[in-house]
Amino acid sequence: MLVLITYDVNTETAAGRTRLRKVAKQCVNYGRRVQNSVFECLLDQAQSLLLKEKLSEIIDNEVDSLRFYYLGNNYETKVEHIGIERGIRADQTLIL
């Protein structure tokens, strides 16, 4: 299923930037970064729970927030993009 993960952090502090990098590092293992703080990940139920647990441990609950949007398996018609493109689709394979 497609899980959209959005992340809010004050990156004015070095600690905030470190947390952002750590969140991104976890997310890119499962999908792609479509915007600065928006990740699209293709996960099964177990991966979803595991990633949520990992990200919860990284963020500072007092100042940061994470949101998870569960878009299911038929997500192609549920997403629209306008403007500059970043990265590749989460389910797209790169042949090098």
Q: Which positions lie near a copy of itself, rule CB under 8 A?
A: 4, 6-8, 34-38, 52, 55-56, 59-71, 77-86
State how far Cα 19 lies from the chain centre.
Answer: 13
State how far Cα 79 lies from the chain centre.
Answer: 15
Is 64 annotated among the ligand-binding residues?
A: no
Task: Give whichever of 29 and 35 is closer to a copy of itself, judged by the CB atom.
Answer: 35
CA dist 41 and 52 (Å) reads 12
Kind and range of the H or E run holding 19: helix 14-28
Task: Give whichever of 59 and 95 is closer to a copy of itself, judged by the CB atom.
Answer: 59
Minimum distance, C-beta of residue 94 to a copy of itself, in the bound complex (Å): 21
